[in-house]
Structure 1
Amino acid sequence: MASTAIPATSRAQLERADESWVDFRLAIAAMGLEAFGRTTPAGWTQQALIAHVAAWHEVSAERLRDFRASGDPSPGPDLSDDAFNARVARDTAALTPAAVVSRLDASWSMLRAEIAALSDRELRAHDGWAASVVAANTFDHYREHRVEVFAEVPLTPRALRMSMDAAWRRFRAAAVATDLERTSSAGWTRKSMLAHVAYWMSQVPVELPVRLAGRRSPTADVDAANARAAERAAALDRAGILALLDRGYRETVDALAALPPDTEVDFMAVRLVAGETYEHFRQHAPELEDATA
């Protein structure tokens, strides 16, 4: 059912959009890039589904931008929804899954900025036109596709391990081939980045029992932890960095191996494992790949 009530404030609208986005985006992260070629019950691939969400983000951001500039509702694409979706699927079919995820994240940043810029008056103007655009292309849209996306989320230790292993092989091969002393596009050395990845993997066995109980530990000081990992990396050679990385992965594998392999676990645990393994590998893979070109 579509949302019809206009939020009292623009801030309330933004908070609702943020909350729904986090849930949807975490499900995509947990799904993993390997699932992008699989067909959903609706008949399109996961990649086409995600690309279409990104495209509607982009269109909506443009419409809201035009609306704030002119004060008048801005029309959507000069195509039916089905025709627009088909065009997006064709135009993005040749992209890599990683490129589609990058486009999704960029499109959300664009749309979120436009939602945040709406005043309370603008949100309610024209019978809540802006509010309806936001709802249709964020929380209502994510809810529409939630079942399709979650159908590919690995919910058992065995399924998680399969998602991890495929991404791990690619990431580790890139780590072996890269120049570890070079500074990455993120501004740290590649060996510092790998030490950071290894550290956060090593935290999975610590946090996993908490997540399995449906809870989470207090938020860590991420910057301090990353600084310690970078400091540790400075004293390690190539073999030491790779050993650190391997140990972090092995500890995560061992933590999953201790669980019943085909029993579903709490999604909070899935988020943890995915976020510190294959989704984390995806985030940092470009820093390794631009060094091996």
Structure 2
Amino acid sequence: MREAERLRIVRAREWARPERPARREVLGVVPEVEEGRPPLLFVPGFGHGAWAFAEHWLEHAASRGFPAYALSLRGHGGSAPAPEATLRSYTHDVVQVAASVPRQAVLVGHGAGARVVAHALARYPARAAVLVAPVLGGWGTFGNALRRNPGGTLPAVFGGGLRLSRRQLFSRELPDAEARRYVSRLGRAGRRAQWQLLTGPDPEPAVGRPPVLVLGSPDDRVVSPAALTRAARRYASAPLLFPGMGHDLMLDARWREPIDAILDWLAKDPTTR
């Protein structure tokens, strides 16, 4: 690791003003037979918890030989409440949990969790990263969400909770009963973190320049196709697209397709073996 990258990982400000410790929920499934594959750490987006990956993707990844873990960011899922959490707090959560898994991890972030992962990559030397339907922030993201869901989006600007609808999150293929069950489990992010999603600085370059895969759906009602392309270009690639799916690819009716694509990509890339 170059000295400049080492200095970016350890910073005086973070020693002087450390993040408050928080009880974090981490769910995990490991393969029955250890195959030496890198562990995956899934990071859910705002309002979601580790449960969103425990529904399907953790078991499926483990069945293909990948140890799989999912983190609930502070204030989400089964983690401790944290109404004043910031993007820095969430980044700290990811780095701390990634450092605790047995081997160098692959970070997989969904939605706003992809922005958290992008920030964490500047602090943690990940084996690789995957950004799923990434909400990387900025007013363009807000404008798109406002057009599609004004009632659920506008309150977030004034400190209220961001409310995502069934139409934004899922395709019509997902049965209504399942969609309602998932929507009922959604929580809310810290108001400061929501605001920082719009106004915060761009992530710094990743330590070690790990390979990064960006994937999503052109029919996503949260992230536009143009936003997916911009996110992929940041990492010198093109997005992998799954037409007909909603924003929550890990919960939608065809959830197997994106996770299999992720695992196939990891299995083929020699840097992730």
Q: Establish whether TM, by shorter chain, passes 0.5.
A: no
Larger relative contact order (C-alpha < 8 A, sep ≥ 6)? 1
TM-score tier (shorter): under 0.3
User: Which structure dedicates a bigger proportion of its chain to helix?
Assistant: 1
**TM-score if structure 1 supplies the norm length?**
0.22
Report the structure number with the largest CA radius of gyration.
1
**TM-score if structure 2 supplies the norm length?**
0.23
